[in-house]
Amino acid sequence: MAANGDSQTVSEYIVHHLTNLTYGKLPEGYARYDGSTAPEGGQWTLAHGADEIAAMGFNAVHVDSMLWSVGLGIVFCWLFRRVATQATAGVPAGWVNFVEMVVEFIDGTVKDTFHGRNPLIAPLALTIFVWVFLMNLMDLIPVDLIPHSLMLAGVDYQKIVPSTDPNITMGMAIGVFVLMLFYSIKVKGFGFVRELTMNPFNHPLFIPVNLFMEVVGLLAKPFSLGLRLFGNMYAGEMIFILIAALFSVGLFWMLPAALLQIGWAIFHILVITLQAFIFMVLTIVYLSMAHEDH
């Protein structure tokens, strides 16, 4: 897990490992890294470097984040479906026992936290917890293993931890936010408007103040939900990369770097689990608040 000191500086090594494999449209006439220029009408292509990513703008897609997140979602569905087909009335064992423990734990958390009646909440909480956990778990794979292996196949960039991409974490947070709005309107009806305009000061003169405060508080929920997960996982990945860069310094740093990697990986097991749990619990709490009609 070392940087290639002959061809990359430590700074270039870090930037490379934090760059997504990006697909987008370069503007017409853009001068590319290989000396070519984008043809008339622009060019849809994989970006090579931060400059090309910036030139692609908002329409660029992080291909690696999309593929890894969707792939891990498929793995989650396949594993839990397999367990569901193997479950029997007898005493569970092995993987079936582990999955049943996870399901019972999340079901108990939902019963303790969610105060409404909605059959969607428990499956949603299970999906969020396991999916986020699997995405976070990718952080424990050595930082050079997959990116350098794919470089041999001609793939220049590869970020394998989807939760270090704010597009992924904010996408999930916005999904939760849409559900919050949907159930707030469905359960409370006009009461949701009154909640936004007449709290905390129950007087018509304070409607603008109330509306501003409530809307800011409402919009803060998806931002805090998505950015909290992104910030913690991005920081964890950065530390792994910095420790890996020590391997290129010299033989003296090999043993300390290896010990640091092992120690941080063990501690990070707690971090990735806790972040998945926090994201799940906050989702349940926010949806519970959307179901509470005062």
Nearest alpha carbon to residue 282 among 173, 120, 199:
173
Where helices occur in 87-119 by DSSP H, the ranges are 94-113
228 is catalytic: yes
| Ranges of H-type helices in the chain | 10-17, 50-56, 63-86, 94-113, 121-137, 145-151, 166-188, 190-197, 207-245, 254-291
Q: Helix, strand, or coil here: 4?
A: coil
Q: Is 184 a catalytic residue?
A: no
Report yes or no: 261 and 240 within 8 Å, Cβ to Cβ.
yes
- The single residue of 11, 228, 248, 288 carrying the catalytic annotation is 228
SS3 sequence of 186-243: HHHCHHHHHHHHCCCCCCHHHHHHHHHHHHHHHHHHHHHHHHHHHHHHHHHHHHHHHH
Catalytic site residue from 65, 163, 184, 232 = 232
Q: SS3 for 78?
A: helix
Active-site residue, 232 included? yes
Of 82, 224, 248, 288, catalytic: 224
C-alpha span between 3 and 7 (Å, rounded): 9
3-state secondary structure of 25: strand
Half-sphere exposure (CA, 13 Å, Cβ side) for 208? 1
Strand partners, 236: none
Catalytic residues, by residue number, are 224, 228, 232
